[in-house]
Amino acid sequence: MRVLFGVRMSEQGATTSWPSSGDAREPVTLSAGDGSGNGAADGSVDDGRRPWLTPGVGGIGTASFLADVGHEVPTSLMASFVTSTLGAPAAALGLIEGISEGLAGAGRFVGGALADDPGRRRTVAVGGYTATAVLSGLIGTTTSVVAAGVLRGAAWAARGLRVPARNALLADVVPAHAYGRAYGFERTMDNLGAIGGPLLALGLVSLFSVRTAILLSIIPGLLAAVAIVYAIRQAKLPKITERKKLRFQVRPVLRGQLGRVMAGFTAFEIGNVAATLLILRATDLFVAERGIEAATQIGIGLYVIYNVAATVASFPAGSLSDRLGPQGPLLVTLAGVAAFAVAYLMFAVSGPEIVLLGVAFALAGVGIGCAETAEHAAVAAAAPAEIRGSAFGLLATVQAVGNVAASVVAGLLYTFASPTVAFGYLAVWMLAALGVLGWALLRTGSAG
């Protein structure tokens, strides 16, 4: 029986629900398919035997793949476009990317409030994918760095808006017993798109100009929007007859078990540094004996290992989360955090050893594949349906802000102290996350 996060299924197909705080109180019984979002959209009994890879799930996964392919093309070419085509300095590129990431974080927070309403979440999902595709592609038509920056920022804001809507929509179209597999599938498709996008960019610039390549990225982006529309139509979601009032709900998300889980995720994200610092560490270790070009190639090659490991790990992590039952999402998250802790310690003490660094990159990739998948599954299971959009919005905001904080602080420590200090600092945050998430796991067990 499912007892994690206050939900279990009885043999008769009714849902027994406790308050999301995780406190042991009298349960309230709801009929399956009551529209709460904690189960199949068609109202059939979530008995663990229904297929999870429905057209709705497939459509959302396809959208993630196509969207990543689409926006990774301009992302891969942005440096060349800004500095070479437009003739702007590298500082302009840094300013554009920094502002864009900030707008994406703000968009995720606002998108969470919008996604609390089932009708709005569908509109925001479709509109977000469409706007991201069009705005990103139009960068190729600009003749000034200001126009390119405005379009990049607007595209990233739209991308941020759609994230909570997509994640909440995925919870709408999959049975609750398969959240892990569904989010693992979505993360796998997203990672595949992140690999395919740069490869497509390479192919396009070999045939066309950089401008044309960026403009052509609209095509996979718009196909992603079509895939989302398909997912919504195939899911046969209930008709929306009433709009919910737009509210930014933070306090309800931070209460009880969901709040404890969010605290653990926050500690993890503050230590979840951008992969560029891992690449820098590998490059620096080899540059003295092999030269900058060979060291750069080694760093990129090791980064490929990271991406492949993340892609391969995502779906098995989600599947394992489902098989482990009520405590699965937290257990898988803990495994991912532990993998990161070991990887960071290896980065802290490693010398120019390719095999050792390869293991560290692989562990970090497995860590992100496990953690991201399980984070989404945990929030989908823990958050009441009426605040699920806000919960995903807050998670996405924590991920964005935490990653920036981790990269800035670790970057400063790397520069002004030492790489060992920087990665030691990150490992400490992983240990803190293990402690907080372990506490949440224990509270889950005592509540069950």
Burial status of residue 251 (CB atoms within 10 A of its CB: 0-12, 13-18, 19 or more): exposed
The CATH classification of domain 252-447, taken from the options 3.40.640.10, 3.40.50.720, 1.20.1250.20, 3.90.226.10? 1.20.1250.20
Q: 246 φ, ψ to 5°? A: -70, 120
Contact 111, 393 (CB under 8 A): yes
pTM confidence score: 0.71
Q: Tell me how far apart the alpha carbons of residues 230 and 125 are, in angstroms, rounded to a whole number.
A: 12
What pLDDT, on the 0 to 100 scale, is given for residue 353?
92
From-to residues of CATH 1.20.1250.20 in the chain: 55-235, 252-447
- 191-234 pLDDT per residue, tens: 899 888 888 888 888 899 989 999 999 999 999 999 999 988 87
Chain-wide mean pLDDT for the chain?
A: 81
- Give the list of residues 6+ apart from residue 60 with CB closer than 8 angstroms, or none: 166, 169, 170, 173, 186, 227, 228, 231
Q: Which two tokens stand for residue 366?
A: 């497995």
Please tell me the predicted confidence (pLDDT) of residue 36: 39
410: nearest Cα among 422, 427, 424: 422
pLDDT recorded at residue 262: 86
pLDDT band at 394 (very low <50, low <70, confident <90, very high): confident
> pLDDT tens across 359-369, in order?
999 999 999 99
Classify residue 244 as left (phi > 0), alpha (psi -120 to 50) or beta.
Answer: beta
Q: Tell me whether strands 15-17 and 7-9 are parallel, antiparallel or unpaired.
A: antiparallel
For 2-6, 113-117, 298-302, which range has the lowest pLDDT when averaged over its residues?
A: 2-6
Q: Which CATH homologous superfamily contains domain 55-235?
A: MFS general substrate transporter like domains (1.20.1250.20)
pLDDT of 349 strictly over 90: yes
Do residues 137 and 218 lie in contact, with contact meaning Cβ atoms separated by under 8 Å?
Answer: yes
